[in-house]
Chains A and B, each alone.
Chain A
Amino acid sequence: MGVIMGHEPNGKPGWPKTVKEWLFTLDHKVIGVWYLIGSIASFAVAGLAAMLMRIELGSIGPDITGDGNVYNLWLTMHGAVMILGFQIPALLGFVANYAVPIMIGAKDMAFPRVNAMSVWLLWSGILLALANLVIPDHFNGMWTGYPPYSTSDAAGNTALYSLVVIVLGMSSVFGAVNLACTVAFMRCKGMGWFQMPMTAWCVFTANIIQLIFVPVLAASVLLLSLDRYLGFGFYNPETGGDVLLYQNLFWFYSHPAVYVILLPFMGIIFEIFSASAKNMVFSYKATVFAVLAFIPAGGDVWVHHAFVAGLPDWLRVLQSFTTLLISLPFGLLMLSLVGTLYKGAIRYSGPMIWALGAWVMLIFGGLTGIPNALSSIDYGISDSYVVMSHFHYVMAVAGTMATFGAVFYWFPKLTGRICNEFLTKLSGITFFIGMNVVMAPLYFAGIEGMPRRYMDYQQFADNPTIVNAQYWSTIGAYITFLAVLLMLVAWIHGMLKGKKSSQNPWGSQSLEWTSAALIAGQGNFPSPVEVVEDWHPYNYIDNPKPTYITVASNS
């Protein structure tokens, strides 16, 4: 299929030419790119914070800072910016905004102006978060912001923390409403719910989760500031409040937030697996229901973040069980991923290497979640490196590899060029090795009792496992740093000198590759797309071609 020209209102495929057009755009693709730039910038800041922490932890004693406050600032920035500034915007911003509308054959998002508002709210939130690095009373209460620490003077500027979370939460809610409406009402003619790509399903479900749970988070952090500055005392035992209230409210959102990140990146892995293996997603309908099952299943497990927080024992045992039940939908998704490879025709393209890395990390991360779900096991490993290593495997490593895999996957649509395959693969493999060298030793340090959020560990000086693990982990951080540099080189090289891409470089059946121009212009499609009942984004054998509905022209 040749290159199809986009149309209306500019009529030309491609990106806006002027700065003004970029800034005041309502086009979902340009907004998606703004999300991408914001999230990559956040990744750089939070990644450098991680690098500094790893250098500090490489050996016992102060290495680059002896000041706990400085270290805690890095740690707070790392957690908050990685989750709220990088992962959620990259997945629910870039992937949801840039890719999903074209995938479902929509000409734009349902509410383009709301969309522009969401992205600029995100940028405000990111800039506010970065301000934390320069203000004198920086907030250092971690991304979780537990009171009474976060409502004490020692924590710094609680108001900034509340504001950042609320601004980013607003951005998320607007984005969620927008995307849910887009998926529900703007699918192209003939496309049923069960003809949507997995990415669209996963992003849709993630946004439903956002809609249900984000308001609770916003309330919980608002109460923090009311406590701190106006003396309300919701979380203050001296005035009849309770410190545990915050943890219940906070994790009521922040556990489902894990699935807000997990589902879209699993959707990307499905997308890349299916396109690379040219194979139907295994048991597609059942997989879709497994994705939807995360809404109820993810909503009643938040207590596992507080197994040792003094909550009633019956609640711990109950939610230990509900947490284990997550293995059912998650297991079905993992089964479907391996099933998608069965009898496939797998081509190991650049994005496939990143997706494979993400998948392997997801297996490690998923399995190491099982011991954490058992409340009695958790008494021994709570708040240790075991927990830290587990969620970094799922979120930080699998999530990041899939997100960057998505950038490589849609890179030809963004720039019209393909990244150098060797550099893509080399950076992916280096990243995979680097992050494993970071995280695997720390798991064993955690079993030995190493707690999280420590800037030093002289109490464990005579434990060789912990000391060696910290050392090797820092080596791994350098490898990862190198991998990220390689990846940036691959992107910049691809943008400037990459090989010109064909219309459909990965041989996908999804609409963004088959029916929109390679670099789609405003309106995405030359004229509205129609698919028939037998069409499926993952049918590689006898897929009926999508057709265009010709619109009566004015002339």
Chain B
Amino acid sequence: MKIKSLSYKALGALLALPLIPTLAYAFQMEIATKNNYEGLTPQAHWNEMWSEVMWDITIIGAIYFAIALFFLFRYRRTEHNQVGKSPKLSAQAIIGWVVLPCMLFLGDDLFLFVKAFDLHNQMREVPAHAQTIKVTASMWNWNYDYGNGVDTDNELRVPVGKPVVFRMTSDDVIHSHYLNGYHVTEDVMPGRVTWEWIMPVKVGESVITCREYCGANHSRMYGKLIVMKQANYDAWMVSALADAKAESGHRIASTTVGKAIKNIAASKINKGQEG
């Protein structure tokens, strides 16, 4: 009787096992949110999480492989008529061999999940002072609209040290906006506006690619992200703004003339039909 009740207690304790890493992590989470965006950018946080997951699966795999290799070597058939002698499991043993591994897996799952949830919150909460850039995808082009009349194709310029949020939509099919090194991907589709944000902390260039299949030139739909010093960025913006003004003035002129010609042509055709 005593032994039995003890084993039930042990089972009960096992059920609480998955909670331990979660509770342990709750304390850490406090620290992580306090440090937000100061020491740990989302991309650095992602890298940290990635290496942790890699360690996690490597350790599980190594343990499993070690056991498997040992069995494969130790239990070779040496005699012709030899048969396996695995022990017959009692009902309790079967339950134990289900509950114990499941609790271990669940514990690891929860541990990773809570950490990933924390990272998710960081990656999906846009800082209030973020600059907004509108992204319009089309086959096969990325257009970046800076909101002040300036827009660029397949070239994205942002100042260093300032969070940027992208509000994205597509003119035709689904594309996916991926910024290499920042670990953000988000699909871009017609009829919806999706978003992602980055925190550039280093001056330099990286690749922008499309990550959702979008036809013949899917692999050629790429651009460049250029992170610039604030002064350089401001200088670029001033000249781009001047260009944009000249450009838009030209565009309005051409469309007005074009419309007038079209109207004349249309009226002539109508008259011809009447006659």
CB distance from A68 to the nearest CB of B (A): 3
CB distance from B197 to the nearest CB of A (A): 11
CB distance from A240 to the nearest CB of B (A): 9
Q: Using an 8 Å CB-CB cutoff, how does the interface string of A309-332 with B read, 1 for contact, 0 for none?
A: 110010011001100110110011
Which residues in chain A, 41-91, are within 8 Å of chain B measured between CB atoms?
Answer: 67-69, 72
Q: How long is the Cα–Cα vector from A34 to B219 in the complex, in angstroms? A: 39
Which chain B residue shows the least CB distance to A331? Answer: B105
From A67, A144, A327, contact of B109 by CB (8 A): A327
Q: Are A377 and B49 in contact (CB under 8 A)?
A: yes
With an 8 A cutoff between CB atoms, is B176 at the interface?
yes
With an 8 A cutoff between CB atoms, is A127 at the interface?
no
Q: Are A454 and B113 in contact (CB under 8 A)?
A: no
> What interface size band does chain A fall in?
35 or more
CB-CB under 8 A from B117, the residues of chain A are 317, 320, 376
From A285, A324, A334, A383, contact of B185 by CB (8 A): A383
CB-CB under 8 A from B220, the residues of chain A are 68, 456
With an 8 A cutoff between CB atoms, is B77 at the interface?
yes
Q: How long is the Cα–Cα vector from A77 to B187 in the complex, in angstroms? A: 24
CB distance from B88 to the nearest CB of A (A): 8
Q: Are B84 and A68 in contact (CB under 8 A)?
A: no
With an 8 A cutoff between CB atoms, is A219 at the interface?
no
CB-CB under 8 A from A541, the residues of chain B are 83, 85
CB-CB under 8 A from B67, the residues of chain A are 338
From B75, B174, B215, contact of A243 by CB (8 A): B174
Q: How long is the Cα–Cα vector from A237 to B219 in the complex, in angstroms? A: 26
Q: Are A279 and B84 in contact (CB under 8 A)?
A: yes
* A101-109, A342-350, A486-494 - the one binding chain B: A342-350
Q: How long is the Cα–Cα vector from A252 to B163 in the complex, in angstroms? A: 36
Which chain A residue shows the least CB distance to B218? Answer: A453
Q: Are A346 and B76 in contact (CB under 8 A)?
A: yes
CB distance from A323 to the nearest CB of B (A): 9
With an 8 A cutoff between CB atoms, is B3 at the interface?
no
CB-CB under 8 A from A356, the residues of chain B are 72
Given contacts A148-B190, A243-B174, A285-B94, contact A367 B60 (CB under 8 A): yes
CB-CB under 8 A from B176, the residues of chain A are 308, 382-383
Q: Are A280 and B86 in contact (CB under 8 A)?
A: yes
From A144, A286, A371, contact of B94 by CB (8 A): A286
Q: How long is the Cα–Cα vector from A155 to B186 in the complex, in angstroms? A: 23
Given contacts A325-B109, A371-B50, contact A382 B211 (CB under 8 A): yes
Can you list 29 residue pairs at the A/B interface with Cβ under 8 Å?
A: A68-B215, A72-B213, A148-B172, A148-B173, A154-B139, A243-B174, A243-B190, A278-B82, A310-B186, A310-B187, A320-B113, A320-B116, A320-B117, A327-B109, A335-B101, A338-B67, A341-B72, A343-B87, A345-B76, A364-B61, A367-B61, A371-B57, A376-B117, A378-B185, A379-B183, A379-B186, A379-B196, A455-B219, A540-B84
Q: Are B173 and A149 in contact (CB under 8 A)?
A: yes
Given contacts A68-B215, A363-B61, A455-B219, contact A152 B173 (CB under 8 A): yes
CB-CB under 8 A from B98, the residues of chain A are 283, 286, 289, 332
Q: How long is the Cα–Cα vector from A370 to B173 in the complex, in angstroms? A: 30
Q: Are B218 and A454 in contact (CB under 8 A)?
A: yes
With an 8 A cutoff between CB atoms, is B27 at the interface?
no
Q: How long is the Cα–Cα vector from A449 to B222 in the complex, in angstroms? A: 12
CB distance from B66 to the nearest CB of A (A): 11
Which residues in chain B, 100-139, are within 8 Å of chain A measured between CB atoms?
Answer: 101-102, 105-106, 108-109, 112-113, 116-117, 119-120, 123-124, 139
With an 8 A cutoff between CB atoms, is A555 at the interface?
no
With an 8 A cutoff between CB atoms, is A380 at the interface?
yes
Q: How long is the Cα–Cα vector from A241 to B191 in the complex, in angstroms? A: 9
CB-CB under 8 A from A374, the residues of chain B are 49, 53, 112-113, 116, 119
Q: Are A379 and B184 in contact (CB under 8 A)?
A: yes
> What interface size band does chain B fall in?
35 or more
Q: How long is the Cα–Cα vector from A328 to B18 in the complex, in angstroms? A: 13
With an 8 A cutoff between CB atoms, is B89 at the interface?
yes
CB-CB under 8 A from A148, the residues of chain B are 172-174, 189-190
With an 8 A cutoff between CB atoms, is B56 at the interface?
yes
Q: Are B172 and A367 in contact (CB under 8 A)?
A: no
CB-CB under 8 A from B184, the residues of chain A are 379-380
With an 8 A cutoff between CB atoms, is B145 at the interface?
no
With an 8 A cutoff between CB atoms, is A282 at the interface?
yes
CB distance from A316 to the nearest CB of B (A): 7
Q: Are B187 and A149 in contact (CB under 8 A)?
A: no
With an 8 A cutoff between CB atoms, is A368 at the interface?
yes
CB distance from B255 to the nearest CB of A (A): 24
With an 8 A cutoff between CB atoms, is B24 at the interface?
no
Q: Using an 8 Å CB-CB cutoff, how does the interface string of A353-374 with B read, 1 for contact, 0 for none?
A: 0001000000110011011001
CB distance from A443 to the nearest CB of B (A): 11
With an 8 A cutoff between CB atoms, is B239 at the interface?
no
Given contacts A141-B213, A448-B180, 12 further A-B contacts (CB under 8 A): A148-B173, A148-B174, A237-B192, A308-B185, A309-B189, A313-B120, A317-B120, A341-B75, A363-B64, A370-B53, A380-B184, A452-B211
With an 8 A cutoff between CB atoms, is A459 at the interface?
yes
With an 8 A cutoff between CB atoms, is A244 at the interface?
yes
Q: Are A451 and B210 in contact (CB under 8 A)?
A: yes
CB-CB under 8 A from A364, the residues of chain B are 61
CB distance from A69 to the nearest CB of B (A): 5
With an 8 A cutoff between CB atoms, is A384 at the interface?
yes
Interface-centre pick from B61, B89, B174 (highest chain A CB count, 10 A): B174
Given contacts A278-B83, A308-B185, A460-B207, contact A334 B218 (CB under 8 A): no
CB distance from A26 to the nearest CB of B (A): 39
Q: Using an 8 Å CB-CB cutoff, how does the interface string of A283-319 with B read, 1 for contact, 0 for none?
A: 1011001000000000000000010111001001100
CB distance from A381 to the nearest CB of B (A): 8
CB-CB under 8 A from B174, the residues of chain A are 146, 148-149, 243
CB-CB under 8 A from A540, the residues of chain B are 83-84
CB-CB under 8 A from A378, the residues of chain B are 185
Given contacts A324-B109, A346-B75, contact A331 B101 (CB under 8 A): yes
With an 8 A cutoff between CB atoms, is B32 at the interface?
no
